[in-house]
Structure 1
């Protein structure tokens, strides 16, 4: 069959069909347009899926929930019933305890005012206790160093009928720097004396066997814990000279100075 015969056969086959009510060229153009649009939509959909997958893979994105989420889609919140609290025992009543009041002991403070007071007091008091003497001076040396150590030492220099001499007066703040046993451990102590207020007097004597220098010391261990020591010599401790026949002050005179309430730290 030739090509012409084929065309004629086809024309005859459709000859009885109604004519087309549309333009074939227009139909082709619309089909082409729809195909291009479909391809564009597919490409946009693929890009959208890729972007969504990237965002969902970021940390914390899956934990964020939109504000308008349906309650049916939200996870079910379960709660556990806590056990009832344990019964708290009633507070126990503690009987108040009687506390003994504390006794406050005021420790004297050694200052320059202390040395000025003692200097004036000893200058006036010494001739009353030791008659017939002339006080040359009262000296307190290195007072700041001694004050830090808790004691103060002064020297009363005087002249009597036998010549010049001196008496050392030392005051220690409480508590006592030495006990009575320690005081008598290196010297010869006589029988102690107990005072009416409960304090004690210790009488000690020491002599250098070579120089024959003798020192008598009376220590008053006072009831408040302070100690006052008064030392007399058979020579002048401030200069080199021949010794006296006896110590310049009698033990009772040194005891009067040691127990004098005016000789104290203020």
Structure 2
């Protein structure tokens, strides 16, 4: 049916009626405008739907497209990972593996133990009843030629429960790289104190073990490992978690007095 047929039909239908100020041409024009308007609205809604989908997809994948950043303080249970990659080269360029004699290691172990008798209570302010282990190698207080690290275990009480820490210090240029050491549930933290920091948490049955590694620009590496039990006990009691803040572990791991 053509527009002329529509116009003629409308005129015939109202021929015997009083005039209603009705213009068929205006009706057709109005109808065209309404159809065009609906088409534009439909296109607009489709465009909005595509735009919303474009925003929703990255959000659903875990990528926030907003530019607002909220500062986060690192905590033990939810470390703040950095987007920086792993240390590209370890040891750092120009660092050659150092050599420490047995006497060198024993002397540094004594010095570090003395330092920690003041540093541990100051850092772990809520802890008491400290038990200070001696630095050594395969055994407490034992050293051997060409040894490349020393470690010591420390136990303490918080809220009536016993926990422990192990502090290990490597001779510059002798520790394994972050890619070899921090492999399971590992996060890189914001660098500080002249080196890269990593955090790793392990669940081993009832045991929870958290380690902070500080890879220093000097080629040395210090790690602090916290346990949810007293690992020096022959029959340890496992607790729900480790009652230490991330900042406490970072303070110990970056302590310059614990570097070989």
- Normalised by the length of structure 1, the TM-score is 0.55
Structure 1 segment 121-140 matched on structure 2, within 5 A: 121-134=115-128, 135-140=130-135
Q: Corresponding residue for 2:238?
A: 243
CA contact (8 A) 1:233 1:248 kept: no
Q: Corresponding residue for 1:119?
A: 113
Mapped to 2, the partners of 1:124 and 1:115 lie a distance apart of 15
1:188 counterpart = 2:215: no
CA contact (8 A) 1:157 1:164 kept: yes
Instruction: Quote how far apart the aligned CAs of 1:174 are.
Output: 1.4
How many aligned positions are there? 159
CA contact (8 A) 2:105 2:143 kept: no
Runs of 4+ in 1 over 4 A off after TM superposition: 103-106
- Which protein has the larger Cα radius of gyration, Structure 1 or Structure 2? 1
Distance 1:191 1:150, change over 3 A: closer
Structure 1 segment 35-184 matched on structure 2, within 5 A: 107=98, 109=100, 110-134=104-128, 135-141=130-136, 142=139, 143-145=141-143, 148-184=146-182
CA contact (8 A) 2:97 2:173 kept: no
Mapped to 2, the partners of 1:243 and 1:104 lie a distance apart of 41
Mapped to 1, the partners of 2:127 and 2:177 lie a distance apart of 33
Distance 1:174 1:147, change over 3 A: farther
Local SS of the residue matching 1:194: coil
Instruction: Quote how far apart the aligned CAs of 1:249 are.
Output: 2.2
Question: Any stretches of 5+ residues in structure 1 without a counterpart?
Answer: 1-102
Q: With a CA cutoff of 8 Å and minimum separation of 6, indicate the structure with the bigger relative contact order.
A: 2
- Normalised by the length of structure 2, the TM-score is 0.56
Question: Any stretches of 5+ residues in structure 2 without a counterpart?
Answer: 1-93
Local SS of the residue matching 1:191: strand
Distance 1:191 1:178, change over 3 A: same
Q: Corresponding residue for 1:205?
A: 201
Instruction: Quote how far apart the aligned CAs of 1:250 are.
Output: 2.2
CA contact (8 A) 2:228 2:242 kept: yes
Instruction: Quote how far apart the aligned CAs of 1:139 are.
Output: 2.4
Mapped to 2, the partners of 1:147 and 1:164 lie a distance apart of 34
Instruction: Quote how far apart the aligned CAs of 1:196 are.
Output: 5.7
Local SS of the residue matching 1:262: helix
